[in-house]
A = this chain, B = another copy of it.
């Protein structure tokens, strides 16, 4: 089974960007850890980063056709992109929304996600673990769907 991991805008700067908020890991290191855990769980993990809402929509549509589950960090789009929300709702897959930082402990606007209501769930505040646990969660859900 294929799992898509989608990283939203500005995450390409991870490691150098505001390290007290986002940590010192680079995106590449996160991706490597996800692929490794994928191997362990028996799934093929493919990671994509984009600053473009439209590309993320296209990737969600593509995941709908090719993959069995999605781990999605919408970054700043979390708070306003109803287009991504509709894409998540349109795709018939388990999607877990993840955030590196605890979005509930920062600026007020970060507390609202327009996407979570149509996702399977949300994991936030656990750094790299947000992604790894997110991967475990969607894989479990996807296998369950396959089995049923």
Contact = CB atoms under 8 A, between A and B. Distances in A.
Interface of A: 8-10, 12-13, 17-18, 50-55, 57-58, 61, 75-77, 79-83, 85-87, 89-90, 96, 102, 104-105, 109, 111-114, 116-126, 129-130, 133, 136-137, 140-141
Contacts of A80: 80-82
Contacts of A12: 61
11 contacts: A8-B83, A10-B61, A12-B61, A17-B90, A75-B86, A79-B82, A80-B82, A102-B117, A104-B116, A120-B126, A123-B124
Nearest to A100: B121
A76 B87 CA distance: 10
Given A18-B90, A109-B82, A114-B109, A133 B137 contact: yes
Contact of A53 (B17, B52, B114, B121): B52
A7 B102 CA distance: 22
A54 B57 contact: no
B133 A57 contact: no
